C-alpha cells in the first residue's frame, strides 16, 4: 500500500444452480448462508446484529447521502493491486461463511473461475475485483454500509430479505407511503439500472470501475453491481422492476455466485505464484492508478 495516497422467475431455477453438489470442500452446501438465529453462537449473533443495523439505517435519504459522499472519487489514489492489499486486513462481519481476510477470498474466487473458465479472462478478473468496494470499511464506513445482502430502497422490502420481519421496524421508510408500496418510487420493469440499491461495496465498486474507464465488458460491471442482491438473484424477488437486459445479467450473476459462495472453504492460492497472471489482466482491463 506504500504508493497509495490517501486524499481527502421464470427464467431459471436458482436453487438448481446454487446447489450443484451436496458437499463443497468438506462443508455441506446447506450450511452456507445459514441465517438462523442463535444468540449463543458468536458468529450467528455477529451476522444478525449486522443486519439489524443495516436494515434500520439503509433508507432512500441515506443512500443519496452516500452517493454524494463517495461518488466524488476524492478519497484515495491507488492501483488495483495496492487497493487489494489494503483488504488483507478486512474481515466481512456480515458473512457467516468466512472468517479470514477479504483479499484471500478475492483470489480464491478468481482462481476457481479460472479453473472452470480458463479462456474467460474478464470473468476471472471480475472474481478478483468483485469485493474491492469493501475498502469503504477502511475509510470510516460502518460495516452495515459496506457489506451484507443488498436490496432496493424506495419500495417495499421483499419477503426474502434475511431477517426481514424483525429488522426493518425502525427504518423510517418502512412507514413512509412514498416508499412502502410494491413499486414505491419506481415504475413496472423500469430496469435495475434505474433502481437505488442499499449502499455498499457492490454499488461503490461498480461506480469506481465506470468512473475509471474500465475496459471490462458491461456484464462484468453488472455482476459486481448486483452480486450481493440475493433477494433477486437467488430468491426471484423484484422481478417486477427488471427489464430484459437484467434477465440476461441474471444468468451471469448466478454463474458468478457459485464461485463467490462455494469457494469460501477452498484452499488459499499461493499469491506469489498467481500474482503476475492477475497483474497482466489488470494491465489489460483496468491499468494504472485509479481514483477511489
The number of residues that bind Fe ion (CB under 5 A) is 2
Provide, rounded to whole angstroms, the least separation between the CB of residue 216 and Fe ion.
16
End-to-end CA distance of the chain: 14
149 lines the binding site for Fe ion (CB under 5 A): no
Grid coordinates of 116: 472452470
Residues 62-91 that bind Fe ion (CB under 5 A): none
- Segment near Fe ion (CB under 5 A), from 32-40, 59-67, 126-134, 207-215? 126-134
Q: Which helix (H) or strand (E) holds 28?
A: strand 27-28
Q: How far, in Å, CA of 69 to CA of 72, rounded?
A: 7
Stretch binding Fe ion (CB under 5 A), from 41-49, 70-78, 123-131, 176-184 = 123-131
87/286 with CB nearer Fe ion: 87
Residue-wise burial string across 274-291, b where 16 or more C-beta atoms lie within 10 A, e elsewhere: eeeebeebbeebbeeebe
Is 95 among the residues that bind Fe ion (CB under 5 A)?
A: no
The β-bridge partners of 291 are 77
Contacts with Fe ion in 4-43 (CB under 5 A)?
none
Nearer to Fe ion (CB atom), residue 60 or residue 261 = 261
Nearest-approach distance from CB 159 to Fe ion, in angstroms: 22
Asked if 131 is part of the footprint of Fe ion (rule: CB under 5 A), the reply reads yes
Q: Give residues with Cβ within 8 angstroms of 267, minimum separation 6.
A: none
- For Fe ion, give the closer residue by CB, 55 or 227: 227
Nearest to Fe ion of 195, 205 (CB atom): 205
Determine, following the binding rule CB under 5 A, whether residue 260 of this chain makes contact with Fe ion. Answer: yes
| Alpha-carbon gap, residue 4 to 54, rounded angstroms | 30
b/e map of 178-187 (b: 16 or more CB within 10 Å)?
ebbeeebbbe
How far apart are CB 247 and Fe ion at their closest, in Å?
22
- The count of C-alpha atoms lying within 13 angstroms of the C-alpha of 153, restricted to the half-sphere facing its C-beta, is 22
Q: Least separation, in Å, of the C-beta of 192 and Fe ion?
A: 17
Q: Is 246 in the site for Fe ion (CB under 5 A)?
A: no
Measured from the CB atom, the residue of 131 and 173 that comes closer to Fe ion is 131
User: Do 223 and 252 form a contact (C-beta atoms < 8 A)?
Assistant: yes
Q: CB-wise, 113 or 184, nearer to Fe ion?
A: 113
Q: What is the contact surface with Fe ion in residues (CB under 5 A)?
A: 131, 260
Amino acid at each position: 500500500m506504500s504508493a497509495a495516497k490517501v486524499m481527502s422467475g421464470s427464467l431459471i431455477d436458482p436453487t438448481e444452480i446454487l446447489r450443484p453438489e451436496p458437499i463443497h470442500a468438506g462443508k455441506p452446501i446447506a450450511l452456507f448462508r445459514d441465517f438462523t438465529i442463535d444468540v449463543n453462537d458468536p458468529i450467528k449473533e455477529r451476522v444478525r446484529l449486522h443486519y439489524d443495523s443495516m436494515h434500520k439505517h439503509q433508507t432512500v435519504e441515506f443512500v443519496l447521502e452516500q452517493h454524494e459522499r463517495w461518488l466524488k472519487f476524492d478519497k484515495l489514489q491507488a492501483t488495483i493491486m495496492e487497493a487489494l492489499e489494503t483488504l488483507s486486513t478486512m474481515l466481512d462481519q456480515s458473512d457467516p461463511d468466512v472468517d479470514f481476510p477479504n483479499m484471500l477470498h478475492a483470489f480464491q474466487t478468481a482462481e476457481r473461475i479460472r479453473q472452470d473458465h480458463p479462456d474467460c479472462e474478464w470473468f476471472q478478473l471480475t472474481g478478483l475485483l468483485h469485493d474491492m468496494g469493501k475498502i469503504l470499511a477502511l475509510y470510516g464506513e460502518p460495516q452495515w454500509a459496506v457489506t451484507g445482502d443488498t436490496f432496493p430502497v424506495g419500495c417495499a422490502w421483499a419477503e426474502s430479505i434475511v431477517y426481514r420481519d424483525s429488522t426493518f421496524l425502525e427504518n423510517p421508510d418502512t412507514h413512509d407511503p412514498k416508499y412502502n408500496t410494491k413499486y414505491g418510487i419506481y415504475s413496472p420493469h423500469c430496469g435495475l439500472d434505474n433502481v437505488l440499491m442499499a449502499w455498499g461495496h457492490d454499488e461503490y465498486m461498480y461506480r469506481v470501475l465506470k468512473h475509471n474507464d474500465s475496459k471490462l465488458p458491461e456484464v462484468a460491471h453488472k455482476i459486481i453491481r448486483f452480486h450481493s442482491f440475493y433477494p433477486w438473484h437467488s430468491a426471484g424477488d423484484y422481478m417486477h422492476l427488471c427489464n430484459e437486459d437484467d434477465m440476461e445479467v441474471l444468468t451471469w450473476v448466478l454463474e458468478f455466485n457459485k464461485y463467490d459462495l462455494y469457494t469460501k472453504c477452498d484452499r488459499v492460492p499461493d499469491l506469489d505464484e498467481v500474482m503476475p497472471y492477475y497483474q497482466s489482466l489488470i494491465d489489460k482491463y483496468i491499468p494504472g492508478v485509479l481514483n477511489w
